[in-house]
Amino acid sequence: MALTHLDSSGQARMVDVGAKPDTHRTAVARATVTMSRAAYDAIVQGNVKKGDALGAARIAGVMAAKRTSDLIPLCHPITLTRVEVRCEPVDGRIEIEARVECVGKTGVEMEALTAVSIAALTIYDMVKGMDRGMKIGEVRLVARSGGKSGEWTADDYRHDREG
């Protein structure tokens, strides 16, 4: 099997997507930040000294999705049509979800994963004075669509691995 990001001499390269058709593409990624009860309560009550941690995380996630090709060396710059980042407090942790969309020649999985990762890091930065032991985890792609490979969900993957 040929590796798509290596040229014939084994050097890393950006894949040529010029001949691919433009299609509507989406990706959804999730992450969690687990923390102490005091840090969680401060976020929920809006008492974080640095300000609105969840609002800052949402904005940081959107900004990160737009800059993914600057951060991940072989990612194509993509014109995004939608980036939505949600940060929800749930039972002592913050659940982060990003939905990213474009009409283009390549998918937006990396943009969605980058969005949730940077949103999680922003929460850590905003609240680290209260809890340096926070855990960022479960960064994962949960769905994608568009292009030749069509629809995929994490449930499909679990069934394939368990089947």
What gap in Å lies between CA 111 and CA 82, rounded to an integer? 11
Catalytic residue, from 41, 91, 125, 155: name it: 125
Distances (CA, A) of 41 to 17, 25, 48, 114, 119: 47, 37, 9, 26, 18
Residue among 90, 77, 99, 89 at smallest CA distance from 25: 99
Active site residue 125: yes
What gap in Å lies between CA 68 and CA 116, rounded to an integer? 12
Report the catalytic residues.
125
